[in-house]
């Protein structure tokens, strides 16, 4: 019953280890410990109970046993893994906390500085504004017609962020936003709001230059123009 899901996750890990969220990494750890159990809900419960992957691997055997679906054997194994990481200098590398543009500049540069084609990245943040996952939005350019709602929605449902930073590049131009960029920012904000997720920022990168909508424009005006109810009223919702 669960073999298809497990194989897909193993395949995803084999393709790109960095593409996995903490929840998916935790599921991979649980697979051999709980071979005939649906680990999806258990992984979510563990993260809810202990905050993040650091918290899970830092919990004691007794604490882990308080989570439904985690028996003494699985709890002991997770505690052993946590102890092994601690002996190497830490449980896991803590993901950065994003409080403003200064915290995300280097991440954006690494994503785009060697890229000569346009691409769009989603940076998904948890309630503490720690980076959960960076995901490329496939087959989408800011100046294209509409946005890919299904792909973005699937990511939001799977990762469950509290806020998102969208970032894209202008490979051959300036980082200053175009009218298409302004409209895309509003439409993305509207799409996120349907999933109770906020748009933290939209960042444009071009030849070392970075533009932040949050820092350099009036985001409130964009939010107001692209409120979900206003899109319905103006019949723009079809473009989402």
pLDDT for 16-32, tens place per residue?
A: 887 888 889 999 999 99
So what's the pLDDT on residue 137?
A: 82
* Ramachandran class of 226: left when φ > 0, alpha when ψ lies in -120 to 50, beta otherwise: alpha
So what's the pLDDT on residue 239?
A: 47
Which pLDDT band holds residue 211 (cuts at 50, 70, 90)? very high
- DSSP of 26-52: HHHHHTTTSTTS-HHHHHHHHHHHHSS
pTM higher than 0.85, yes or no? no
So what's the pLDDT on residue 26?
A: 94
Q: Could you tell me which residues are beta bridge partners of residue 203?
A: 167, 212
**pLDDT over 60 (residue 236):** no
Beta-strand relationship, 163-169 and 198-206? parallel
Question: What mean pLDDT comes out for the span 196-223?
Answer: 86
| Alpha helix stretches (DSSP H) within 113-226 | 149-159, 179-193, 213-216, 219-225
So what's the pLDDT on residue 227?
A: 63
Tokens representing residue 117 in the block:
């084609």
| 65-114 pLDDT tens trace | 888 899 999 999 999 998 888 776 654 555 788 988 888 998 899 888 88
Q: Which domains does the chain have, with CATH numbers?
A: 3-87 (1.10.150.20), 101-239 (3.40.140.10)
Which of helix, strand or coil describes residue 18?
A: helix
**pLDDT over 80 (residue 7):** yes
So what's the pLDDT on residue 2?
A: 65
| 130-142 pLDDT tens trace | 887 778 886 566 6
**pLDDT over 70 (residue 144):** no
Question: What mean pLDDT comes out for the span 29-55?
Answer: 88
- Nearest CA to 212 out of 118, 93, 123, 82 is that of 123
Q: How far is CA 76 from the centre of its chain?
A: 30
């Amino acid at each position: 019953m669960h073999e298809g899901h497990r194989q897909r996750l193993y395949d995803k890990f084999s393709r790109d280890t960095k593409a996995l969220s903490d929840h998916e990494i935790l599921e991979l750890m649980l697979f051999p410990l709980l071979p005939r159990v649906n680990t999806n809900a258990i992984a979510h419960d563990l993260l809810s109970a202990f905050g993040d992957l650091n918290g899970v691997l830092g919990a004691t055997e007794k604490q882990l046993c308080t989570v439904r679906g985690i028996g003494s054997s699985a709890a002991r194994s997770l505690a052993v893994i946590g102890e092994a990481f601690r002996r190497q200098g830490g449980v896991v590398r803590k993901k950065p906390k994003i409080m403003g543009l200064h915290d995300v500049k280097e991440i954006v540069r690494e994503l785009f500085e060697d890229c000569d084609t346009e691409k769009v990245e989603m940076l998904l943040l948890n309630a503490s504004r720690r980076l959960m996952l960076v995901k490329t939005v496939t087959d989408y350019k800011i100046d294209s017609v509409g946005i890919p709602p299904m792909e973005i929605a699937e990511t939001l449902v799977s990762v469950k962020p509290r806020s998102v930073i969208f970032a894209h590049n202008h490979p051959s131009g300036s980082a200053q936003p175009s009218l298409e960029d302004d409209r895309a920012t509003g439409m993305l904000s509207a799409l996120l709001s349907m999933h109770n997720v906020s748009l933290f920022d939209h960042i444009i990168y071009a030849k070392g230059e970075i533009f932040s909508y949050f820092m350099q424009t009036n985001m409130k005006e964009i939010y107001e123009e692209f409120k979900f109810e206003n899109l319905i009223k103006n019949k723009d919702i079809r473009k989402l």
